[in-house]
Amino acid sequence: MSVEKETLENLRKEYISEKLSEKDVAKDPIKQFGLWLKEAMEVGVYEPNAMTLATTSIDRKPSARIVLLKGYEERGFMFYTNYLSAKGKEMAKNPVVALVFHWAELGRQVRIEGTVEKLTKEESERYFQSRPKKSQLGAIVSPQSQVIDGMDEIEKNWQEAEAQYEGKTIPKPAFWGGYLVKPQVIEFWQGRQSRLHDRIVFKKADKKTWKIVRLAP
């Protein structure tokens, strides 16, 4: 059964959140992000570290998918994946990306635009070894984004790898590791009544300072 167009057109949510003021936000957007992420965790947002990662191919075709944030600090936002995946290949050709966090329970979004680069081998190795063994095996046996005939061969490879590495340390594969998104723009979006949403944007002025502006909803 499909959803009628009229039904979708009339789907609306009235936001009742408090105002977001330039005077109230932290002067450092990374700190402000941390405050909002903590609140999202406290209210029980499902997978509060889930974020949309948008990339583009060499011929300017956009694509997007959900990945998980695995760390953030002054230099940027970190996640891990297969370097040979579709997104990995796209980021290699065009290192300009965008991230979006959506915390519906709080009526909030965070939009991030910036450049991406690989984390060091040591950083990727450290995280890989912290993962559950089953996740490590999954990273090894899956040719991410490649066309496959079915799951039988992957499941067979998984079982063989599980037997091979039983009781042993699983080495991080060379095709897998982390990325760092270095932000140039970070927007904090707070939903409000009558669609008069608050949009506070931090724009990188230089290596250490940010300019704060407000956008029309």
- Report, as residue numbers or ranges, the catalytic residues: 195
Give the integer Cα–Cα distance in Å for 41 and 50: 12
Amino acid at 84: L
Closest by CA to 51, choosing from 77, 82, 89, 13, is 77
Alpha helices, DSSP H only, in the chain? 5-9, 29-42, 86-93, 121-130, 133-141, 152-164
| C-alpha dihedral (185, 186, 192, 197), degrees to nearest 10 | 0
The candidate with the shortest Cα–Cα distance to 199, out of 8, 19, 79, 11, is: 19
φ/ψ (deg, to 5) at 104: -60, -40
133-141 helix and 152-164 helix, angle to the nearest 10 degrees = 130
User: For the chain, how far is it from start to end, CA to CA, in angstroms?
Assistant: 35
Angstrom distance (rounded) from CA 146 to CA 135 = 19
30 and 74 Cβ atoms separated by less than 8 Å: yes
